[in-house]
Amino acid sequence: MHAVSLDAADGIAADVRSHSDSLLKSQPFPTCYLLSAMDCSSDESSELSETDIDDYAAKSYMDLKSGKLVARLGSDRFRCPFCPGKKKQDYRYDELLQHATGVGASNRAAKVKANHQGLAKLLKEDHTDAAATLPPRQAIALSNPPKPVKDKEVFVWPWMGILTNVPAEQTKDGGATLMKQLADFKPSQYAAVGGSNGYTGYGIILFTRDWNGFKNALAFHNHFNSQHLGKLDWMETKQDGKLIFGWLAKEEDYRSDDPVGRFLSENGELMTVSDLEHEMSRKTDNLIASLGQQITAKSKYLQELECKCDQMNLALQRVMEESDLLHKHYNEVMQNMQSTSREHTQRVLQETDKLRKQLAEKESQIQKKSRQLNEFVAQTDMERRKLEDERKKNADQNNSLNMARIEQEKADELVLRLLEEHKKEKEDALNKILQLEKQLDEKQKLELAIEQLKGKLEVVKHMEGDGFVVKKRTEELTKELNERIEEMEDLDALNQALVIKERKTNDEIQDARKELITGLTELLGPRSNIGIKRMGELDEMPFVLACKERYGEDAEIKAAELCSLWQEHVKDPNWHPFKMLITGSTAQQVIDDNDEKLAGLKEQFGIEVYNAVTTTLMEINEYNANGSYVVSGLWNQKEHVKDPNWHLFKMLITGSAAQQVIDDNDDKLVVKELLGIVSELWNNKENRKASITEAIQNILKQWKAQKHRRRR
């Protein structure tokens, strides 16, 4: 342990105080040697050797003296030009001298020591006039600096000074009078010592627990020694009760069997400067370690937040891209529908214009004939009566034509309203389900045709002419109208029946498939071509092969950990590494090769592990996209592909897996054969036809019994 002088302690305390005032309050003694060993050796390293310190100190002194470096700010204000980063930049003469002397005698780097030695030399030789402005006692303490304290010298801690022959009147109000007289030494508290007979004449001065308190306690001790009022002087002249003696409390005072010793033992403890330095070094190390752990934890948490933010941004970007693609596809479909609707509307309007022109021509012919009749002069009464009859007949025909025109206009308005309604229905139907587009168009065309036929029928009813022709035309239009209505009703009934039948058949086949998978789990052996595969479960073998190249003996453990980790990633519903691929009018989901997780996996562990993860993702997306958990499915172990279920159904139909009587791609034939089998089966217990599920249960039961008999 190094010897500690008053100047060294002051320099160390000033450095630590500028670093953190709060640390000094909670940790009263700075870890001077820890700081000098860690900070100074690394941050203030110098190329100077110990032999060059004096030369460099002389150079620093000349720079300060020439004004190149400024240390004095006023008559009694100074700064340290070599510590620009320190919190304290305003020193008094004595404070800067103690700082420069302490740092120059410390274990700092050679360059730092040389600079501060040059500063101390400048203060002592060129700025001694500033020392005259100090208080008398402080000047005396500076003129008589304390001798270095030995490492083994024991003090009472917290630092305490002992006063004797203190008048009782000076102990009032907590020793306010004495505290004022000793203000230069910055005492923190005064306590009068009492005994069994009352006040003993002794008093205890307490100083702060930090290095400044130690410096002030030593100054207090040196002041009384310089005035020949120390402990030795008191022991020689203790009969004289007029003068106040004082000294720094040490081991001898602590162990004395008197009121002062008891006070010291009750309020303090014995400790060397080395012990205090070790204790504060330990506390500082603990504090640094704790702060380091907190910084590490905060940094990790910040990184996690940044990762989550990046993931949210990527997910949002993918959603926006998918939304743009959907909007683009929607706009294209709407444009096609609008184009088709415009063409159909134009055709209807053209037919309407054609009918309107025919009516106009017929009306002009009638008007022409009426004018001819008006110009005709009747010769006889009979002719006049005939003329009147002709006029009435023409008037009736005109009325009939007007009624026909009105009905045609009503029919046109109705057709236009229907067109608007059909357009809205198309848009609503497209937003709900695009698959019903063809059926909806056929229904609308039938309705338009029906309304047009109704309009034509009304027109024909109001037209007069050859009665047989009009009646025949009316019957033809009525028949065509009834056929169109029946066709529309038959189409609706057929669609509804097909939907119900398809759902029912699909439900039965799915129930039969589940029953088949459940039953075959026990029946199928390892040599069977068809087996049960857990769809969405990762294959561990690619992970084992990849880890063997990287980890050696620990490959299996690392592979298991890595496989388990990626299985959790695959099951995470919030991770969706897919993108929409539009081909023509169809859209399908494919793996997004630019996904950050998949790209990192491929780069780190290779293409085999990447293919295993992407295959599992596609299986989850196909078989259980909503649940994202593993499901069982049939698997062709010979061809290493998904079994379409028809192979097992064919096994049940033909009675043997070896017989291949049905093509794998002929799904309709398989369904037909299944329905044929079910139609021939009968549930004797409930007296009804058996379902596909019941048929499969019965066949599996017989197959299991046959297999059991073979084992016997």
Residue-level pLDDT at 330: 92
What confidence tier does 379 reach under pLDDT thresholds 50, 70, 90?
Answer: low
Please state the φ and ψ torsions of residue 665, each to the nearest 5 degrees.
Answer: -90, -10
The verdict on 41 and 75 lying in the same domain is yes
Q: Which residue has the higher pLDDT, 148 or 640?
A: 640
Note the pLDDT tens digit of each residue in 59-79: 888 888 888 788 887 777 888
Do 29 and 277 form a contact (C-beta atoms < 8 A)? yes
Q: How far apart, in Å, are the Cα atoms of 294 and each of 34, 35, 225, 291, 553?
A: 21, 21, 49, 5, 36
CATH number for the domain including 168? 3.30.70.2890
Mean local confidence (pLDDT), 101-105: 82
- State the pLDDT at residue 7: 41
Question: What secondary structure letter does DSSP report for 45?
Answer: -
Find the radius of gyration of the CA atoms of the chain. Answer: 55
Residue 32: pLDDT band by 50, 70, 90 thresholds? very low
105/210 Cα distance (integer angstroms): 20
Query: Is the same domain home to 382 and 325?
Result: yes
582 inside domain: yes
On whether both 173 and 94 belong to a single domain, the answer is no
pLDDT (0 to 100) of residue 220? 92
Residue owning tokens 């589940």: 514
Give 657's DSSP letter: T
3-state secondary structure of 131: helix
Q: Does one domain contain both 29 and 76?
A: yes
pLDDT of residue 149 exceeding 90 = no
> Which of 16-30, 109-123, 429-443, 647-661 is least confident?
16-30
Condensed to tens digits (0 to 9), the pLDDT of residues 257-272 reads 888 888 888 888 888 8
Q: CB of 148 within 8 A of CB of 5?
A: yes
Give the pLDDT confidence score for residue 660 in this predicted structure: 38
Tell me, yes or no, whether 121 lies in a domain.
yes
In the prediction, which pLDDT does 200 show?
82
Give the model confidence (pLDDT) of 493-527 as tens digits. Answer: 777 776 777 677 666 666 666 666 666 666 565 55
Question: Which pLDDT score, from 0 to 100, does residue 35 have?
Answer: 28
**75 falls within a domain:** yes
Residue 21 is predicted with a pLDDT of: 39
Of the listed ranges 168-172, 289-293, 462-466, 611-615, the least confidently predicted one is: 462-466
Query: Both 251 and 324 in a single domain?
Result: no
Average pLDDT for 223-229? 88
Residue 421 to residues 341, 410, 416, Cα–Cα distance (Å) = 12, 16, 9
Any domain includes 262: yes
Most confidently predicted of 103-107, 230-234, 402-406, 506-510: 230-234
pLDDT at 707: 64
**Pair (73, 209) in one structural domain:** no
Which of 578, 610, 629 represents a domain boundary (last residue)?
A: 629
Dihedral over Cα of 248, 252, 255, 256: its sign = negative
Residue 385 clears pLDDT 60, i.e. is over it? yes
For residues 210 and 269, what is the distance between their CA atoms, to the nearest angstrom? 15
Tokens of 639: 């061809």
Model confidence at 128, in pLDDT bands (50, 70, 90)? Answer: confident
The one-letter code for the residue type at 694 is E
**Residue 514 falls inside a structural domain:** no
Are 324 and 458 members of one domain?
yes
> Does the structure show a pLDDT above 70 at 645?
no
Residue 663 has pLDDT above 50, yes or no: no
- Residue of 155 and 475 predicted with greater confidence: 155
605 lies in a domain? yes
CB 397 within 8 A of CB 373: no
Residue 566, pLDDT score: 92
pLDDT, average across residues 445-473: 69
Is the CB of residue 284 less than 8 Å from the CB of residue 27? yes
pLDDT mean over 392-404: 80
pLDDT > 60? residue 133: no
Verify that 104 and 162 share a domain, yes or no: no
Give 398 or 648, the one with higher predicted confidence: 398
Q: pLDDT grade, residue 536 (50/70/90)?
A: confident
Each residue's pLDDT tens digit, 597-635: 889 988 888 899 999 999 888 888 777 656 566 766 666
Q: Which domain holds residue 12?
A: 6-134
Tell whether 12 and 69 lie within a shared domain.
Answer: yes
Distance CA 9, CA 16 (A): 11
Let me know how long the chain is: 712
- Answer yes or no: is 676 within a domain: no
Whether residues 163 and 212 fall in one domain: yes
Question: Which has the higher per-residue pLDDT, 362 or 679?
Answer: 362
How far apart CA 564 and CA 558 sit, in angstroms, is 10
pLDDT greater than 50 at residue 587: yes
State the virtual CA torsion across 464, 467, 472, 474 in degrees, nearest 10.
30
| The pLDDT of residue 17 | 40
> Percentage of the chain surpassing pLDDT 70?
64
In a domain, 662, yes or no: no
Q: What is the per-residue pLDDT for 376?
A: 65
Structure tokens at 291: 């702060």
Boundary residue ending a domain (610, 629, 648): 629
Q: What is the DSSP letter of 573?
A: T
What is the number of structural domains in the chain?
A: 4
Average pLDDT score over the chain? 74
Evaluate if residue 543 carries a pLDDT over 80: yes
What's the CA gap between 513 and 693, in Å, rounded? Answer: 8
Question: Rounded to an integer, what distance in angstroms lies between the CA atom of residue 54 and that of residue 98?
Answer: 19
Is the per-residue pLDDT at 657 higher than 60?
Answer: no
Which domain-ending residue is among 267, 299, 329? 267
Please check whether residue 96 is in contact with residue 78, taking contact to mean a CB–CB distance below 8 angstroms: yes
- 85 and 200 belong to one structural domain: no
Same domain, 130 and 172: no
Residue 580 pairs in a beta bridge with: 589
pLDDT of residue 160 exceeding 90: yes
pLDDT at 190 over 70: yes
Instruction: Determine the pLDDT at residue 161.
Output: 92
pLDDT at 406 over 70: yes
